[in-house]
C-alpha cells in the first residue's frame, strides 16, 4: 500500500527511500492504486528511475504518462506550469496522482535553490486542488540539507513503513531563504535600456550570444527570453533596466536587472487563464531556458537565465556544468 491519503484535498508527501527495491515498491504501489480506482496518473522522474518504474509496471505503463524529469524538468521553474499543471489541468473531473522527482544527486548547487523553491511553491500552486504529488528523495545519496528542506516543503514524510506529519513544514520559509542575491559578474557585457532601446537590447543580446557560441534554436531562445524580460522591465520594473550577457562553463548567461519588485511568488509558474492577455513573459523564459534564477527585493529584481550552447536532451547525470564552486558542487554525497 502507498499509505498516501488521496481524498478531499491537495496532498504533497515526500518519500524518503534507501534502495532501488524500496523505490520501486513504493512508487509502483502508488501508481497501481491510482489506476485501480480510475485516476489519471503521471510519473516524472529522472531517466534511470523512470525505467525502473516502467519495467515494474509492465503493460500498465501504457496507462501512465511517463516523463524523464531530467529533460522535462531540467529547469525547475517550468515543472509546475509545464509538467504538473500541464497534466493536472487536463483532468479536472476527479483526483489526479503525480510522482515528481525534481531533486537527484546529479543536480548542481547552482540549480538547487530553484529546486527547493519549486518544491515549496507546489503547495501554493495546488492549494484546494484534488491532486496528490508524491516526491521521492534518495535518503542515502542526497545531502542532509536537501533532506531537511524536503521536510520543510512537504507536510508529510513517508519513511520505511511509516507516514508522519512533518514538524518542520513551513514552505514559505524555503521560498524566502533561497531568494538570494545573485553575484555580479564584472566582466559581463552590459547594455542599459529603456523603452526606446528595447529593439537595440535584443540585437545586443543576439550579437553577444552568437559570439559566445549560441546558434540556431538556442539563439532564437535567447532572443525571445531577452525580449520578454526587457519588456517586463519597461512595463512593470520601473521603466528601465540593465541587460548583461556572459559565458560560464559551457553555457551562455543572460541577466536583466531593474528596480521593480516581484510580489507574486508564483509569477512565471502560473499558466494564464484562458483568454487572458499577457502574463506569459516569465513563463516563456522558464520554458526555453535550461535554468532560471531570480532574486527580488525592495530595491529591484534580477532574473538570470542559462542556455546550453547546444539544445541537448537532459540526463540524470551532472546537469549543471561549469567552473566555480557553486556550479561544481552537487547536492549528492
Q: Read off the pLDDT of residues 111-163 as tens digits, 9 standing for 90 and up.
A: 999 999 999 999 999 999 999 999 999 999 999 999 999 999 999 999 988 99
Output the pLDDT for position 5.
Answer: 43
Nearest-5° angle of CA 241, CA 245, CA 247? Answer: 155
Q: Are 218 and 311 in contact (CB under 8 A)?
A: yes
3-state secondary structure 129-186: CCEEEEEEEECCCECHHHHHHHHHHCCEEEECCEEEECCCCCHHHHHHHCCCCCCCCC
Read off the pLDDT of residues 285-333 as tens digits, 9 standing for 90 and up: 999 999 999 999 999 999 999 999 876 543 333 323 233 445 446 677 6
As a whole-number percent, the residues of the chain with pLDDT over 90 amount to 84
pLDDT of residue 13: 98
Structure confidence at residue 1 as a pLDDT band (50, 70, 90): very low
Q: How confident is the model at residue 272 (pLDDT cuts 50, 70, 90)?
A: confident
- Mark whether 122 and 246 lie in a shared domain: no
pLDDT value, residue 166: 98
- Tell me, yes or no, whether 127 and 251 share the same domain: no
- From the list 192, 320, 324, the residue with the least C-alpha distance to 256 is 192
Considering the domain boundaries, does residue 6 fall inside one? Answer: no
Q: Are residues 135 and 217 in the same domain?
A: no
The pLDDT assigned to 280 comes to 84
Q: Tell me the pLDDT tens digit for each residue of 22-61.
A: 999 999 999 999 999 999 999 999 999 999 999 999 999 9
pLDDT value, residue 271? 84
Q: How does the average pLDDT of the chain come out, rounded?
A: 91
Say whether both 147 and 205 belong to one domain: no
Per the structure, the count of domains in the chain is: 2
Q: Is residue 269 part of a domain?
A: yes
> In the prediction, which pLDDT does 332 show?
72
Q: Which three cell numbers stand for residue 11?
A: 496532498
Reported as a single tens digit per residue, the pLDDT across 64-89 is 999 999 999 999 999 999 999 999 99
Residues 165 and 198 in one domain: no
Domain that holds residue 222: 189-328
Asked whether the predicted pLDDT for residue 7 surpasses 70, the reply is no
Boundary of a domain, candidates 155, 177, 199: 177
pLDDT at 276: 62
DSSP track, 53-65 = HHHHHGGGGGGSE
* 163 plus 205 within the same structural domain: no
Structural domain includes residue 182: no
Is position 2 within any domain? no
Q: What is the pLDDT of residue 333?
A: 67
Do residues 142 and 250 both lie within one domain?
A: no
Q: Are residues 119 and 201 in the same domain?
A: no
Amino acid at each position: 500500500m502507498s499509505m498516501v491519503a488521496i481524498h478531499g484535498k491537495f496532498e504533497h508527501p515526500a518519500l524518503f527511500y534507501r534502495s532501488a527495491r524500496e523505490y520501486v515498491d513504493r512508487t509502483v504501489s502508488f501508481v497501481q492504486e491510482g489506476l485501480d480506482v480510475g485516476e489519471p496518473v503521471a510519473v516524472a522522474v529522472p531517466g534511470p528511475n523512470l525505467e525502473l518504474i516502467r519495467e515494474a509496471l509492465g503493460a500498465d505503463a501504457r496507462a501512465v504518462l511517463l516523463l524523464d524529469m531530467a529533460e522535462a524538468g531540467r529547469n525547475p521553474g517550468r515543472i509546475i506550469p509545464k509538467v504538473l499543471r500541464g497534466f493536472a489541468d487536463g483532468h479536472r473531473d476527479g483526483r489526479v496522482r503525480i510522482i515528481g522527482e525534481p531533486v537527484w544527486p546529479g543536480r548542481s548547487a547552482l540549480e538547487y535553490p530553484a529546486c527547493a523553491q519549486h518544491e515549496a511553491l507546489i503547495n501554493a500552486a495546488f492549494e484546494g486542488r484534488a491532486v496528490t504529488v508524491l516526491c521521492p528523495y534518495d535518503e542515502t545519496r542526497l545531502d542532509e540539507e536537501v533532506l531537511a528542506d524536503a521536510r520543510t516543503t512537504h507536510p508529510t514524510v513517508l519513511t520505511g513503513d511509516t507516514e508522519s506529519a512533518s514538524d518542520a513544514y513551513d514552505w514559505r520559509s524555503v521560498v524566502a531563504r533561497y531568494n538570494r542575491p545573485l553575484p555580479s559578474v564584472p566582466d559581463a557585457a552590459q547594455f542599459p535600456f529603456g523603452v526606446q532601446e528595447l529593439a537595440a537590447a535584443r540585437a545586443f543580446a543576439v550579437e553577444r550570444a552568437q559570439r559566445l557560441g549560441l546558434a540556431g534554436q538556442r539563439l532564437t531562445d535567447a532572443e525571445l527570453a531577452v525580449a520578454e524580460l526587457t519588456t517586463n522591465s519597461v512595463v512593470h520594473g520601473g521603466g528601465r533596466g540593465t541587460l548583461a550577457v556572459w559565458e560560464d562553463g559551457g553555457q551562455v548567461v543572460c541577466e536583466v536587472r531593474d528596480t521593480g519588485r516581484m510580489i507574486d511568488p508564483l509569477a512565471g509558474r502560473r499558466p494564464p487563464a484562458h483568454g487572458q492577455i499577457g502574463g506569459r513573459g516569465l513563463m516563456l523564459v522558464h520554458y526555453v531556458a535550461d535554468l532560471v534564477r531570480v532574486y527580488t527585493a525592495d530595491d529591484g529584481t534580477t532574473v538570470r537565465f542559462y542556455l546550453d550552447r547546444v539544445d541537448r536532451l537532459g540526463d540524470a547525470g551532472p546537469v549543471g556544468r561549469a567552473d566555480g564552486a557553486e556550479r561544481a558542487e552537487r547536492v549528492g554525497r
